[in-house]
Copies of this chain bind each other. A is one copy, B any other.
Amino acid sequence: MKKHPPLRSAVGASAPDRIMVYGHDFVGELLGQATLSSMAFLALTGRKPSANEARVFDAIAITLIEHGMTPMAMATRLTYLGAPESLQGAVAAGLLGMGTRFGGGAEAVAAMLRQALPDAAAAHDTQALAVQVFESHAAGKRPLPGLGHNIHKPIDPRTPKLFEIAREAGFEGPYVALLCAIADVTADKTGKVLPVNATGAIGALCCELKLPAEAPRGIAVFARAIGLVGHLVEEGKNPIGRTMWERVDEEINAAHFSENSAG
């Protein structure tokens, strides 16, 4: 029989009088001192954030909440309509819509920036790197992630604010500069002005904070869980899910029977 390795985890462990979390005594060192976002930072990096890191991290996380009536928010409300006993199921349904089409942007930006500049501390020519990134995407006919927005035109109002917060906290570094340079090169070469959007800014700031590769998507998951819980609290008070459904169902039934009886 195969010899299996022992199971180990540093996330948490419990004894009758103690709970350890990433090596910290939960009651003695964290409870009453750590905030929700500092615990999230700890979960992603294994260490507590400095005040400046926490400020940028909070800005990233609350931007990722996405409060609008997204397809995810609709799926969550429609699921709650059928299963009001399971708030967690409705949130889970919404999270499942966070896929490649709406959920992968910041991750792609961070990967693009890290590939171009693996070591932030190394000497480098930002402008040359930006041209190189632009050209490799153009050659592969791949769109550049993190630029332009279909609603927030000409600029995404969140981007300058995110960069301002990063600047004040000392985190407006080489990845932010590189992404802005890529946007400039794109405008020069194509004539299309596509400024850095919020997703792009978040991807760059995840690099500045040295967060792991899973961070953009991981932060989006719990941030959107917060947003979806908010949608459900409102749905509990002023439900609109049933109307969303009945309108669609009625239109499809009416079309079906009128079209088929017409002939």
Chain A residues with a Cβ under 8 A of chain B: 1-2, 4-22, 26-27, 30-32, 34-37, 39-40, 42-44, 55, 58-59, 61-63, 65-75, 78-79, 81-103, 151-153, 157-158, 161-162, 164-165, 212, 214, 217-223, 225-227, 229-234, 236, 238, 240-241, 243-257, 260
- The answer for the CA separation of A11 and B32 in the assembled complex, in Å, is 29
The answer to whether A87 and B31 touch (CB under 8 A), given A12-B69, A222-B229, A226-B36, is: no
- Number of this chain's copies in the assembly equals 4
**A96 to B: closest C-beta gap in Å:** 4
- The answer for the CA separation of A97 and B69 in the assembled complex, in Å, is 19
> Could you say which of A1, A44, A58, A62 has the most chain B C-beta atoms within 10 Å of its C-beta?
A62
Do residues A74 and B221 form an inter-chain contact, with CB atoms below 8 A?
no
The answer to whether A231 and B11 touch (CB under 8 A), given A31-B162, A87-B214, A96-B92, is: yes
- The answer for the CA separation of A70 and B199 in the assembled complex, in Å, is 33
Do residues A82 and B62 form an inter-chain contact, with CB atoms below 8 A?
no
Do residues B87 and A217 form an inter-chain contact, with CB atoms below 8 A?
yes
Do residues B68 and A13 form an inter-chain contact, with CB atoms below 8 A?
yes
Query: Assuming A6-B255, A36-B58, what are 12 further A-B pairs, CB within 8 angstroms?
Result: A1-B254, A7-B251, A7-B255, A36-B36, A39-B62, A44-B230, A70-B245, A81-B101, A88-B96, A92-B95, A221-B229, A244-B248
